[in-house]
Structure 1
């Protein structure tokens, strides 16, 4: 008989195990048995909670997006000045819990999976729209509309690109340099407007 109240704990353990397995393997080529073993549960229980592996992977992506959304909300809470909001957005994308080796590998694997999976593609579109919206909210207060749009696209491309480059290297993620690179681009775009 299952223990009452254990389902959320086990589901979270399976999601964390999926991120770790994907991070270690560098792809979605992991089995439910492998993920379940890492989580300390049986493969049958993993299937009970999530059904197929694709459903677990989609829930893992949702989990990563929810965590990022919570982190963004916390970082922006009480920050009203547009440039400070942009700095907070950039920093949160490279925070330790977001820019860790396992999470970076999971993001890359999800990007690849989105090429064949409409549910994954939809989740990545949600992420992209949220990032764009948050950037535009601040940038529209600093730049004219077209410049704001181009700058938002540039910042988003740098963030995504830095994740991809990090996933393809064997070195540990370097958040300090990643933030500095994005901030430098943003400063350049904003200074051109002031001149």
Structure 2
């Protein structure tokens, strides 16, 4: 966690520098020296305000999560509360478009994702993100399918989001947001149709 007093202008500068370095050399190669050079600051500033590389990595992950949350929250606020299908698509798009699709963000996410299996704090942050996604989806799905199926379908959409994102992150052509939405909508439409037919029949 950054210490109180860290100039606000420095935080995004250091976070962006961290992502740029991770994009070039990977997480393990992203040293305090390389990051400080990229940001145009002394290594001492990183050590003073973040306690070293680990603290800066955690702040970078939090910054990505905050931006991700802001993107989805903003998109949802722009849609009517009753537009549940459109709101689910806004949640889907928030994982594949804009900030989340930038090359350095994608590579940083991918690095953190693998590293979080061995780091309790990064794992906790990853779990927070996962729970937030499931929560957003459950709120909208409640109006579209029976209550007992809300969680399984939300988990299914989340699995598709993660899987499609991961395949896109490893693809030299990058993430195809349009294809992601089409594939997830196909799953969603089938679930809605199936459970509606059950209720009717």
Q: Please report the TM-score for the alignment, with normalisation by the length of structure 1.
A: 0.91
In structure 1, the residue corresponding to 2:172 is in which secondary structure? Answer: coil
1:45 maps onto 2:50 in alignment: no
Q: Number of residues paired by the alignment?
A: 191
Q: Which deviations, in whole Å up to 9, do the C-alpha atoms of 1:81-105 show, x marking residues without a partner?
A: 2112111111111122112221111
Cα distance in 1 for partners of 2:193, 2:26 equals 39
1:136 aligns with 138
Cα distance in 2 for partners of 1:111, 1:86 equals 24
1:12 maps onto 2:25 in alignment: no
1:54 aligns with 54
User: Which runs of 5 or more structure 1 residues have no equivalent in the other structure?
Assistant: none
How far is the alpha carbon of 1:28 from its aligned partner?
A: 4.1
In structure 2, the residue corresponding to 1:155 is in which secondary structure? Answer: helix
1:104 aligns with 106
2:124 to 95, 98, 122: 122
1:177 maps onto 2:179 in alignment: yes
Cα distance in 1 for partners of 2:78, 2:171 equals 36
Q: Which deviations, in whole Å up to 9, do the C-alpha atoms of 1:18-47 show, x marking residues without a partner?
A: 112222334343101111111111212222
User: Which runs of 5 or more structure 2 residues have no equivalent in the other structure?
Assistant: none
Checking the alignment, whether the CA contact within 8 Å between 1:71 and 1:92 is kept in structure 2 is yes
How far is the alpha carbon of 1:174 from its aligned partner?
A: 1.9
Cα distance in 2 for partners of 1:95, 1:78 equals 16
In structure 2, the residue corresponding to 1:93 is in which secondary structure? Answer: coil
1:146-165 counterparts in 2 under 5 A?
146-165=148-167
Q: Please report the TM-score for the alignment, with normalisation by the length of structure 2.
A: 0.88
How far is the alpha carbon of 1:6 from its aligned partner?
A: 7.8
Checking the alignment, whether the CA contact within 8 Å between 2:68 and 2:99 is kept in structure 1 is no
1:186 aligns with 188
Between 1 and 2, higher relative CO (CA 8 Å, sep ≥ 6) is seen in 1
Greater displacement, 70-79 / 127-136: 70-79
Greater displacement, 185-194 / 9-18: 185-194
Cα distance in 1 for partners of 2:151, 2:26 equals 33
How far is the alpha carbon of 1:121 from its aligned partner?
A: 0.8
